């Protein structure tokens, strides 16, 4: 067993967190991860209304008696989102672990802390992590350039970002982006992290509520099967490389400094991405996936995956690394 400051704080068995993925992080996946000893996370904005989120929280609670959390991502969108109402729903649902991401979470930290919640904040830069620490979050999930979704604008990989975060912060740090194997967990711990956050890898599990064709495409994919879009808007995102992503990238390159979100609004519509997961048509819209697809080779249960990752990490720590010490 790998015991860290993070596992102790969250009351979980293994230092592995499931990423809060839009359209994917629903009750069945979060419960599967938590039942396996990790920390399952549901995504608030996957639910159409705050009331629906309350129902999803109860659904998750009916599936597990282990700790689980809810992600609240705070980003601009094409339609107004009542973030404060979603935050209140998280509190009203009795959730005691919250992951914030996106823009500055300051408006919501006080609400969550007053309700007795532990708050993780996911960010892509040390300067943002320091701000979140000052605001009172308990854990920083530092997100390297390898990650799926919003990668930030600094292009710094975990090999540098994790030790820099550990050195700069007083609070607990977990590493996010590009993780999917036990040897990678061992490397994150060696860099000073207290655990890892995995998103894309958990998409290719039996409990993930997405079409099997999407899971199989991740198994077939390599580390080069993602593409960066929206860089011209300083809202860079890593998505799976498909026909829609390539078209968005082409339009962005062609427009140059004149590029606007309106130029691709139909292509990047969230409903199209959601339909990918429902229909299994991996070409239908944009869907997030990280470079870690290169190490995804099967579709296990969450329990099988987490136990394998932890066992492999322990083998690296106890075996190969010790043999290198003269």
Min mean pLDDT across 12-21, 193-202, 215-224, 264-273 is at 264-273
Cα separation of the two ends of the chain: 26
CA neighbor of 13 nearest in space, from 29, 34, 42, 32? 34
Is the predicted pLDDT of residue 301 greater than 90, yes or no?
yes
Residue 76 has pLDDT above 80, yes or no: no
Q: Give just the sign of the alpha carbon dihedral 156, 158, 162, 163.
A: negative
Whether 77 has a pLDDT exceeding 90, the answer reads: no
Kindly state the average pLDDT of the residues 32-60: 98
CATH number of 5-209: 3.20.20.70
Domain boundaries, the chain: 5-209, 226-288
Classify 280 as helix, strand or coil.
Answer: coil
pTM over 0.85: yes
Give residue 303's pLDDT: 98
Question: How much is the pLDDT for 78?
Answer: 65
pLDDT tens digit sequence for 97-126: 999 999 899 999 999 999 999 999 999 999
Percentage of the chain modeled with pLDDT above 90:
94
Q: Cα–Cα distance between 14 and 179 in angstroms, integer?
A: 15
Mean pLDDT across 18-46: 97
pLDDT of residue 321: 83
- Assign 274 to helix, strand or coil: helix
Over residues 157-172, the mean pLDDT reads: 98
State the average pLDDT over residues 30-42. 98
State the pLDDT at residue 326.
76
């Amino acid at each position: 067993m790998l015991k860290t400051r993070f596992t102790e704080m969250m009351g979980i068995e293994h230092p592995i967190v499931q990423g809060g993925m839009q359209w994917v992080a629903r009750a069945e996946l979060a419960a599967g991860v938590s039942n396996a000893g990790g920390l399952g996370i549901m995504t608030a904005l996957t639910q159409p209304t705050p009331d629906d989120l309350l129902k999803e929280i109860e659904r998750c609670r009916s599936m597990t008696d282990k700790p689980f959390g809810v992600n609240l991502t705070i980003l601009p969108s094409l339609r107004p989102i009542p973030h404060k109402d979603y935050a209140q729903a998280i509190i009203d649902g009795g959730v005691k672990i919250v992951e914030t991401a996106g823009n500055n979470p300051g408006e919501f930290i006080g609400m969550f802390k007053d309700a007795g919640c532990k708050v993780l904040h996911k960010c892509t830069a040390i300067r943002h992590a320091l701000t979140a620490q000052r605001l009172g979050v308990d854990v920083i999930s530092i997100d390297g350039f390898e990650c799926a979704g919003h990668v930030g604008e600094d292009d710094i990989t975990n090999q540098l970002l994790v030790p820099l975060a550990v050195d700069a912060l007083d609070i607990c740090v977990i590493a996010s982006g590009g993780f999917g194997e036990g040897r990678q967990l061992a490397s994150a711990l060696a860099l000073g992290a207290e655990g890892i956050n995995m998103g894309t890898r958990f998409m290719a599990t039996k409990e993930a509520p997405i079409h099997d064709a999407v899971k199989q495409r991740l198994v077939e994919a390599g580390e080069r099967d993602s593409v960066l879009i929206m860089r011209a808007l300083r809202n860079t995102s890593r998505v799976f490389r498909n026909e829609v992503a390539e078209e968005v990238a082409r339009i962005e390159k062609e427009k140059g400094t004149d590029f606007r979100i309106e130029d691709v609004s139909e292509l990047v519509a969230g409903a199209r991405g959601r339909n990918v997961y429902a229909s299994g048509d991996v070409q239908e819209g944009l869907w997030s996936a990280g470079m870690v697809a290169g190490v995804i080779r099967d579709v296990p249960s969450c329990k099988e995956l987490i136990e394998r990752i932890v066992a492999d990490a322990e083998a690296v720590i106890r075996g190969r690394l010790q043999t290198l010490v003269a």
